[in-house]
Amino acid sequence: MDRCACPEAAPTIYTYNILINCYRRARRPDLGLPVFGRLLRTGLGPDVFSYNALIDGFSKEGEVDKAHDLFYKMEEQGIMPNVVTYSSLINGLCKTKEMDKAERVLRQMVGTGIRPNNMTYNCLIHGYSTSGMWKESVRVFKEMSSSRLVPDVSNCNSFMTALCKHGRIKEARDIFDSMVLKGPKPDVISYGALLHGYATAGCIAGMDNLFNVMVCEGVVPDRHVFNTLINAYARLGMMDKSLLIFEDMKKQGVNPDIITFSTVISAFCRLDRLDDAMEKFKHMIDIGVPLDTAVYGCLIQGQCNRGDLVKAKELISDMLSKGIPPPCIKFFTSIINNLCKEGRVAEGKDIVDLIIHTGQRPNLITFNSLVDGYCLVGNMKEAVGLLDSMESVGVEPDIYTYNTLVDGYCKHGRIDDALTLFRDMLHKRVTQVFHTTSFSMARRTVVAKEMFHEMIESGMAVSIHTYATVLGGLCRNNCTDEANMLLEKLFSMNVKFDILTSNIVIRAMFKVGRMQEAKELFAAISTYGLVPTILTYRVMITNLIKEESFEDADNLFSSMEKSGCTPDSRILNEIIRMLLNKGEIAKAGHYLSKIDKKGILPEATTTSLLIYLFSVNGKYREYIKLLPEKYRFLREQTAGEMDMEIGQ
């Protein structure tokens, strides 16, 4: 008798839950809903396990709204959510990076008397990590530890991953060492997380050491670990080592995947070892690893960089015949841009044919890269000719195109051609922001001013950067009256400066004798929401020393250090030279001590000045005791000696 024709028992709630859970595991919670509906109609009534299966399924698939709807329905039916319910919801919100909502669910959970478990905290740690909020990951990990929950290996792994992702390798290693000493015992994922951290930071010695520990502990490397090692060595061009790991991977029965092959092929292409790259490509095909756009892209880029566009075209045809999408226009434009920067503009232009071969069309950025390249090599005829090519394919030149052409004319001394093109822009009503940097660089101040006024009169939008550029040019060319007038205009506009503009304006103010206003602008920088850079401090401090406001300069230097802006060699050496030339020997000695503490060598010009001023015939020889001890040997040197002791 057919047993299926005569069922002996009706399905129970347990039967329905098994079916719903099967659909959850198959990542098809939408198919579990009809089963859930049938369960409701039977009168059996769902339980917490029925709801949990669906809530978890939808949360994992990123359909958090559906999960929430089920959660509310669950509460309406009087079914109490448990730790799994809340953890599933939190996991879904973390996956969609809605961390504020995830925290609210956590607080709601605690408020109902349900204690979060390791899985709950693991979701939050991982969520904050992937959202770039590593400090919050630290907070959650500490909160978990203080709640008397013992972190399990998954918690530790998530936390280490978060730390490594944000360069906190030392802290991640501390967690790892704690796991070794106190438990839980590190697993392959623990090793993989820390190995990846070392590799990303370029700490090959730390990576090698940890891998050796892993092998000694009998932890078998997985594909992720092997890929991490192969990539780390390949990025440094250590291909022999990378290939040894590749072979060892196969010997241990771990099959290379698309990531493994892409890493090796990409490295070979960067090193111009295209034959080796093609050999690995064929090996990949032979063992049935599926090809993708990325691996073809590596090979195409390698052939383009070598200048073999015939082979590049063959690769494109091959991938198109296999139904693999070609690299995007951005990919080809990047290659064109790199070739143009190297002066290989003709090869860059040939790649436009490859773009067309893929069925795509060059865009504005593609053409701008070529314009930039032709201007770089001085071929202005071809550069300007591209304007017609752009028009023929319906691409409109933008302000960058014109800026580049004007800049190219200026750099090659063709100022009149630059002005003609500029006026053509005005005629065409190109009203975006335009820069007069080229004219300032060309030291054609009169022309730059004429151009600047034409811009304003034509109604062209003139940016704050353009005003700042002209202001800097006027100051460099000692046009102080006009610089003062332009400063007044700038202030009357009530515009918000950025930090680069602020630096130019502060320098200009000192140049035209408006020191107090320069100090006031510097003091107001923070009110604009800006942070002074090392250049801002250098402009201020060196000008204060020039004006012999030594105490103000010292105070500002101290403020710079306290703010976390680390003084570099350039600013320290410049301060020392200026103080020496002003006869402020004790102060110069103070800054020499700072150089020594930082392990910075005095620049050659600083050393020469020290010897000139403090050697046998130097005018400050009797004040040498005001310098740090290591410099007092200069008293015994003859002028012009460049004793190496200073650099020791």
pLDDT digits (tens, 9 = 90+) for 333-374: 999 998 998 899 999 999 988 898 898 999 999 999 999 999
| Cα gap 435→415, rounded to integer Å | 15
| Cα gap 553→558, rounded to integer Å | 9
User: Which residues make Cβ contacts (< 8 Å) with residue 237, sequence separation at least 6?
Assistant: 267, 270, 271
Token digits of residue 160: 């280490």
Determine, yes or no, domain membership for 3: no
Determine, yes or no, domain membership for 93: no
Tokens 């990990």 belong to: 141
| Cα gap 577→609, rounded to integer Å | 7
> Contact, 237 vs 263, CB < 8 A?
no
Q: How far is CA 295 from the centre of its chain?
A: 23
Token digits of residue 480: 């102080």
Give residue 640's pLDDT.
43
Give residue 449's pLDDT.
65
| Cα gap 422→418, rounded to integer Å | 6
How many domains does one find in the chain? 1
Give residue 466's pLDDT.
67
Widest CA span of the chain, in angstroms? Answer: 121
What is the extent of the structural domain holding 612? Answer: 567-648
Determine, yes or no, domain membership for 328: no
User: 320: closest CA among 353, 296, 288?
Assistant: 296
| Cα gap 583→64, rounded to integer Å | 71
Determine, yes or no, domain membership for 622: yes
Q: Mutual orientation of helices 258-270 and 239-251 as an angle, nearest 10°?
A: 160
Beta strands in 384-497 (DSSP E): none
Determine, yes or no, domain membership for 619: yes
Determine, yes or no, domain membership for 463: no
Query: Can you list the residues of the chain whose pLDDT is less than 70?
Result: 1-9, 426-451, 453, 455-467, 469, 473-474, 476-477, 480, 487, 490-491, 494-496, 616-618, 633-648
Determine, yes or no, domain membership for 159: no
Token digits of residue 122: 């693991």
| Cα gap 90→84, rounded to integer Å | 10
Determine, yes or no, domain membership for 609: yes
Give residue 266's pLDDT.
94
Give residue 419's pLDDT.
74
Give residue 508's pLDDT.
81
